[in-house]
Structure 1
Amino acid sequence: MIAKTKANKSFRGTTKYVVEKAQASIIGGNMIGTETDQLVAQFMISKNLNPKVKEPCYHLMLSLPHSETLSNEQFASLGERHFATVVVLSQLTGEKAKLTNPDQRISEDELNSKVDKFLDDEIHQYSFFIARHNDSDHDHIHIVASRINEITTHAIKTWKQYPQSEWSARLLEKKFGLEQIPCSWESKTRAFTRSQRDRLEKDGLPGAEIMRLSIDEAAQDRPTMPVLIERLALRGIAAEVSYKNNGQVRGIRFSINVGEVDSMGNPKLLTITGGGLNRHKYSFPKLQSELGISYIPERDDKALRATVGNAQKLLTAFPTEKQQKDKEETAELKRTEQLVQNDLPLELTNSNLIEGEKSSQPINQPYSPPQTSPISPEPSSQLLNTPDGQSSQPSRTSSESNPLSRLSDTELLRYVRAVEQWQKNRPPEPRVELGESYQNRIEKLNRQKANLENRWRSEALELKQLGKPRSLLNPFGVKAEIIEEKQNSLLKTRANLNNIKLQLDQTQKDLTHWQQKARVYLAWSENPHTKKMNELASLLNSPPIIKRLQDIELGSTIHSAASYILESKGTPTPEGRELIGNVYRISQTGETLTIYHKERPKPIYQATIREGILSLDQFDMSETDKQIIEGVAQYLQPTQESELHKSHQIKRGGLGLG
């Protein structure tokens, strides 16, 4: 976790940056309101208590690593404790304040005890708020506070703020179960400078390092030079080979999009030569000698010359893997929406959805699930050489009350995907009690506001009636102390009234926001499409459908295991791949995988991948069959066991893999 701390002069500039940034939200603190003007007005009250402090604004930041995540409540609690810890550390004196010396500094137990006491007794004496910035670069919080204690008017000391902030972050990592890293003074390697940390947080992994990693990945199977360049283009990296006048290769350079565009709308590129990336590995000759890239001039030069000066077009012509994935997800979403809107079977488009009346449309017959049988206690001892258990296989009975039971596996899984996508877009349901609490609070604040307004008018009238204070020219006037006391009371009433108005304004905004969310949820819940999807989700949650989906998942597990066995030990055939053992035979033809048993006339398992979805055509495996197939696949996973010893063991198995 990265920690930053800085004191500055401007409450407005800091607050404006933190609050008004896109995707910013206030998640903690003790201040009223969320607008810049509201917060700055409260900060100025504390600033005026000690005008001598030149930098009254305290700005702290905590940034999570990409692998960690916290809820708003957890992050707010972490931020509040960080602020408290830094303040407590700033109050230490003597040996205990030497944080870089582990033998002298304050113990963790004593520090935590002081922080707990500060949170209970003193933190309310400082104005502060905590805002979260959850953007695409990194997840972090900003703590903006006044250094002025509103009771003592003393300011938080900042002359050791950097080690204090860093030590606080290390303790918070331990307390909140986050990834722990050493302090800069404890690390054996040189820590990042603040400017380096800022650049890394802003830009992420450097472009040169991205190019190196991408080249290594694309070159793993030693492709030809044109193929390498095509693979890099798919990763958003353009490679160009330049030539001398005599036709010989001069070198290669790599370019990557830095995420900005020039005045013509073209992407700006970071371009580095292969030797600049690493002259011992990525120059044109070293790509061949070190990474094994194949280059034959007669075969490759024509394709390579076409890349010269074409980096801009390459970066836009080939989508990156993320862009391709986003495109596929968008297409899948549109397809499922179209499926749900227009292509529902008759049973799912009208009242028959509940009644389950039969449709005149033909429906594919579903496969029959296996009936479970006792599992042998020692699967490894009978690795593929045990005669299979006899499985009784009753055919699945279609539930007349659930139209989904008559769909094929492929159709059923499409509806599952459609429901999953619909649930992702479900708006949050507003809590009714929260809306009621806002209304009750508004009523209470309005009553308080009315009482304070009446009191202020009454006090103002009393002050006016007192007239001018007693003086030589006004010997019968009221004492100046009485008038001053009445003025102070009037100012206090005005301050309380302004405070109530701020609370009322914020609560009204909260209620408006809640009402907007409620309208969105109500419109969504009353939408005919939502009602249709609710009914579909209810049908999918019926016990027969859940059981069937579990069977499909099991069938997918068997498919993965059998495919791995074929890939590891099978032999190629004109139609695909095959493996013949003593008991079982596994074959794959195109997208269809079949498992046979020597004592069964028909396949015990057959599945086909249709439109990216596994569809089970036959599933008549006993528990012993399943256990053996999965056991062999697991057994074939790479281990440190001698391959020769493993081969002798497998030879005695039912598949005869030796």
Structure 2
Amino acid sequence: MIGKVGTGKSFRGVLHYLFEGRRQENKELQMQELEKKQVEVIAYNQCFGTRLELVREMIEVAKLNPYQSKPVFHFSLSFAHSDAGKLGLQDKIDMVEKLAEKFDFKDHQYVVVAHKDTDHEHMHIVANRIGFDGKTASDSNSYKHVAEFARKMEIEYKLERVLSPNKFLKPEQRVAQSQRLDSRKEALKKHLQAAIKQSKDVQQVKKYMEQRGYEVELGRGIAFTDAQHVRFKGSQVGYALMDIEKKLKQEPLLQQQEQNRQAQVLRQQQEELKKQQQQEKEIQQTRQHTPSIGR
């Protein structure tokens, strides 16, 4: 079993991904994405309702600690192919309760969702790190702790032991995983290119990216985490913070150059049209002044 964990700022973003998948360009594509996900809600704890109702409920409780900028816990638990069908619904609920106990959010709000859009079973847990007492569940050493939890569950439930996320992937699936990683990089790169064109400074770039579902870490450098908790440094896609700042300074000049180029093309087209019209006029005049030869 493979366990992953991340923290985040937006309940809205992560719950949208859990219930509706990645944001699509139109309603039809969004419905196709939803159908592909095959979403199944396994359990609720201290909360209940639709996606939007869950968002509102969790935000209200998170307000009890306004100083915590990352109130979201997002876990995923993935099982090897050989473990398919081994765990019943109650087994999965029990496992999540043990996870909540380990990470100290057993009395907090959380929802458990299963997705069936990959070749191996997996489920997501979104929890509110903020409890009803206003205290925050710690995320210290969370990557280490979730790995320890996975090893313990493998023993307890007699699951295949998986030390590496790639171990139970077939060769073609490893290739597909690499391709997905590349596609995420390309998507990030395209979003950054669009953000820079529409922004005047780094803060506007940050806002643009957050509106498209990315979490942005901005300090000495810059990093982006998508809805599936895949994190890239800006430098991994050719957009280190220094590069972004440089491009932001260049963008007004580039836009002006493009406007000048387009204006020049338009002038040339107008001149060509004018020239063509003049030639046609001269031909017409010549025809009018040329006497016809009769028989």
**TM-score, normalised with respect to structure 2:** 0.49
Q: Decide which structure has the larger Cα Rg and report it.
A: 1
Structure number with higher relative contact order (C-alpha < 8 Å, ≥ 6 residues apart): 2
**TM-score, normalised with respect to structure 1:** 0.23
